Each structure stands twice: as C-alpha cells, then as structure tokens.
C-alpha cells in the first residue's frame, strides 16, 4: 500500500539518491592507496586516518620490551637495508635496484642533521634537483613493542624503514621508480627514534 502511494517524481528522486549513494560508496572503497597495500609483517594501516597499528593487536605497548632494546644493532640494520628495500619493491611487482654509495653517504649525513635538536624538519636541497627525490621519516621504537621475542629485530627494523611510507602515494611512487634509478639509505638513532632518509636519482651515481 505504501509503495503505491509514491508518485513518479518521488520514485525518480529516490532512485537518483540511491545511485549517488552507491557511487560515493564505490569511490570510498576505491581508496587511492589501494594500489599500495601494506605488506608489513608487524604493522597494519588505517588508510582513512593514516594510523599505523600492530598487525594482530589493537595498540602498541607504551614500554618497549627489554629484549627488543637489547637486540638493536645499527650495523646489522645497515647490512639489511638493500635487501629489505628490494623485498619491499618486489612486493609491489617492481624490479630490484642497486645501492649508490654516493647517495647512501649523502642520506646518512642528512639523517644526522635531521636528528639534531631544533633542526627544522624538511627535505634537503637535493630533493629539488633534476631526476632526484628524497623520502624522510621517523620511526619510534614503540612501534616494535609488539614484536615477539626470538624474531630478527634488526631485519624487522630495516623492513620498517620502507613500510613507514605506505599510505603516501607520492612517497610510494618515489620508492617504486624504475630500476634505472639508484637509491641510497641513511638512518640515525637518537634515543627511541630512528631518523630515516632515502635518496634516489636517475642512474649514474654509483
């Protein structure tokens, strides 16, 4: 009885509204970051809030376990960076790349600068050069507080330096450029914070 009482104009408006709602729903599900899902072994990401969360828990511990802190070896982390980066690229169907010693030296130097107190956060002047780009970020040790004892924490940390950029299309497109690009990696640890710099440039910098 109620449906029969709806006139043609009302029905037309309802159909139009339904189409609009379906379009909005479809658009929201086609998240621009869906192209770059999170493959991390320890994190998941809420693409709406860009919030990183433990992969299998609701929140991180406030206190980082002693076994995590005691396992951190900066030399070992460095030794994994190229491997971790190429695994990261391979997850997204990109070819492996070479490491540029020049770019790694520059990246390391800039990570030290970023780690100093009262430093203005921002890209180095190399970021604006032709055929070059740079990604910078910080990772806090709290984000490893849910890692179980017995895991290779240094490899996990090395992996995280690249996973932390998931959720940013611009950063991901920089990290996943063609294999003709060379990459360099730098990080400095101060307290519980890693300061990360990744620089890239079109070939010829090795």
DSSP per position, the chain: -TGGGS-HHHHHHHHHHHHHHHHHHHHHHS-GGGGS----SSEEEETTTTEEEESSSSS--SSPPHHHHHH--HHHHHHHHHHHHHHHHHHTTPPP-PBPHHHHHHHHHHHHHHHSTTPPP---GGGGSTTEEEEEEEEEGGGGTTPPTTS-HHHHHHHHHHHTTTT-HHHHHHHT--TTEEEEEEEEEETTEEEEEEEEEES---
Q: Tell me how many domains the chain contains.
A: 2
pLDDT of 72: 97
pLDDT of 48: 80
Average pLDDT over the chain, rounded to whole? 83
Q: Model-level pTM?
A: 0.80
| 52 and 124 housed in the same domain | yes
| 121 and 197 housed in the same domain | yes
9-14 average pLDDT score: 46
* pLDDT tens digit sequence for 90-105: 999 999 999 999 999 9
For residue 121, give the CATH number of its domain: 3.40.33.10
* pLDDT tens digit sequence for 140-150: 999 999 999 99
pLDDT of 167: 87
Domain with 101, as residue range(s), is 32-202
């Amino acid at each position: 009885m109620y449906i029969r009482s709806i006139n043609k104009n009302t029905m037309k408006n309802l159909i139009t509204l339904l189409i609009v709602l379906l379009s909005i729903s479809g658009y929201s599900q086609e998240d621009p970051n869906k192209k770059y899902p999170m493959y991390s072994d320890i994190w998941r990401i809420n693409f709406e809030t860009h919030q990183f969360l433990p992969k299998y828990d609701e929140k991180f511990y406030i206190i980082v376990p002693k076994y995590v802190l005691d396992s951190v070896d900066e030399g070992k982390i460095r030794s994994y960076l190229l491997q971790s980066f190429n695994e990261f690229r391979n997850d997204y169907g990109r070819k492996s790349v070479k490491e540029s010693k020049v770019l790694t030296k520059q990246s390391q130097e800039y990570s030290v600068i970023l780690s100093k107190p009262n430093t203005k956060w921002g890209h180095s002047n190399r970021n604006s050069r032709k055929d070059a780009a740079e990604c910078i970020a910080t990772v806090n040790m709290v984000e490893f507080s849910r890692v179980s004892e017995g895991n290779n924490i240094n490899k996990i940390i090395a992996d995280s330096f690249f996973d932390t950029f998931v959720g940013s299309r611009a950063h991901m497109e920089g990290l996943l450029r063609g294999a003709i690009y060379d990459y360099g990696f730098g990080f400095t640890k101060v307290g519980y914070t890693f300061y990360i710099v990744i620089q890239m440039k079109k070939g010829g910098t090795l």
